[in-house]
Structure 1
């Protein structure tokens, strides 16, 4: 199957529920947009990350999630899973986002991106799905999707090919890192071998923090 970008999804601040009696704002609600989208700095044009402590920044600039994984969730949960449901900016087809190697580089349109870490679930994912068990389910499913760095700014759009230009030989995948942090601490030494991981995340793996 040809790897392709099926949709580009952006969104602004939205109240997604309450926690301890207070409204919770988030940028997790995203929807497809038409046309070419500029990718520069630490995000996509028109997109907002509300809580920069845990989302956004150079090492979480763009979030990609595979359409195949959304389809799996649709069957698992018995509900529709439109593009952007997981807060992803890029909805792909034919790309194993979770099986991508840390440091793998993708060319989409005129943009060059580098896979750098998995998405780790927070309580806002539970609010988005109206299910407090979603955090546990997301971790156990081992389908986290990939955060990417922006190496070369440019434009991309739905229908663009996703070309894998380079794949590091260490073989540490997004799933390996996610599972090491959420499911199996025995995987941490192996996961920490990926030099392209963000420093803080690599230290978590090396020193058993988190």
Structure 2
């Protein structure tokens, strides 16, 4: 479990020049609750900072999770160590395919908290500046090990080391990875996102509906196509 404090940096376009992406592990307990709508609500974790409310925070991005296994994979590729929280994630999980989680999947964290997967994470220049890696946005996008944003279904307290258990898996094939690819590099996948319904992040849902409206029957055929997710 990782929390961030405001930090002044030269690589963000946030008006005050601050970012909360530099998150560090904490033991807890930490309260998790829905923070409010985007643009008003910040992080779902008490004590965690979201500085740029234009693009981050809010109920549909209340919590960000990354698999420790993905960080380990990046360590091998980059030739450097990546501590928990290095990607600005709140939850660093083990034994869970976070990017392969289904939109609408429910996780129980600890005894009480329940979270719902809403989308993958789109990289930004602040993320690139924080990592200090050239072409990071492109490299992250190409790999599509995106992690997952989650909304809070049941609030409560969590602690470092609490188990994360999948307690509900919806009956579709729309993963966080597929959603990420659809809204970034493979727009032909957008109609297929509609299978996730209202569990999908509202911005992705709007893009999928707009694509279907624009391209009509052709897009509907893509919805039942065979592109990889």
TM > 0.5 fold call:
yes
Q: 1:27 aligns with which of 9, 20, 24?
A: 20
Normalised to the residue count of structure 1, the TM-score between the two structures is: 0.90
> In 1, are the aligned partners of 2:109 and 2:163 still within 8 Å (CA)?
yes
- What is the deviation of 1:24? 3.2
**2:210 corresponds to 1:207:** yes
Match of 2:143 in 1: 141
Q: Secondary structure at the match of 1:100?
A: coil
Is the alpha carbon distance of 1:24 and 1:208 closer, same or farther for their aligned partners in structure 2, counting shifts above 3 Å?
farther
Deviations 1:108-143 (A, max 9, x none): 111110001111111111110113411001100111
Question: Unmatched 5+ residue regions in structure 2?
Answer: 36-43, 213-229
Deviation at 1:23, TM superposition (A): 7.5
Give SS of 1:163's match.
Answer: strand
Task: After TM superposition, list the pairs within 5 Å mapping 1:36-115 onto structure 2.
Answer: 36-42=29-35, 43-109=44-110, 110-115=112-117
Change (3 A) 1:19 1:173: closer
Q: What are the equivalent positions in structure 2 for 1:106-125 lying under 5 Å apart?
A: 106-109=107-110, 110-125=112-127
Deviations 1:5-57 (A, max 9, x none): xxx1001111232468x973211000001232111232111101101111000
Alignment match of 1:177 (pick from 171, 176, 179): 179
Q: Does the 8 Å CA contact 1:17/1:23 hold for their aligned counterparts?
A: no
Query: SS of 1:63's equivalent?
Result: strand
Q: Which has the higher contact order (CA 8 A, sep 6+)?
A: 1
SS state of the match for residue 194, structure 1? helix
Once residues 194 and 18 of structure 2 are traced to their aligned partners in structure 1, the CA distance between those partners, rounded to angstroms, is 33
Distance in 1 (CA, whole Å) between partners of 2:105 and 2:65 is: 13
Aligned to 2:4: 11
Q: TM-score, normalising length from structure 2?
A: 0.83
Count of residue correspondences: 201
State the 4+ residue runs in structure 1 displaced beyond 3 angstroms: none
Query: Which structure would you say has the larger Rg?
Result: 2
Q: Counterpart of 2:119 in 1: which secondary structure?
A: strand
Which has the larger strand fraction?
1
Q: Distance in 1 between matches of 2:91 and 2:12?
A: 28
> Aligned-pair RMSD on alpha carbons?
1.7
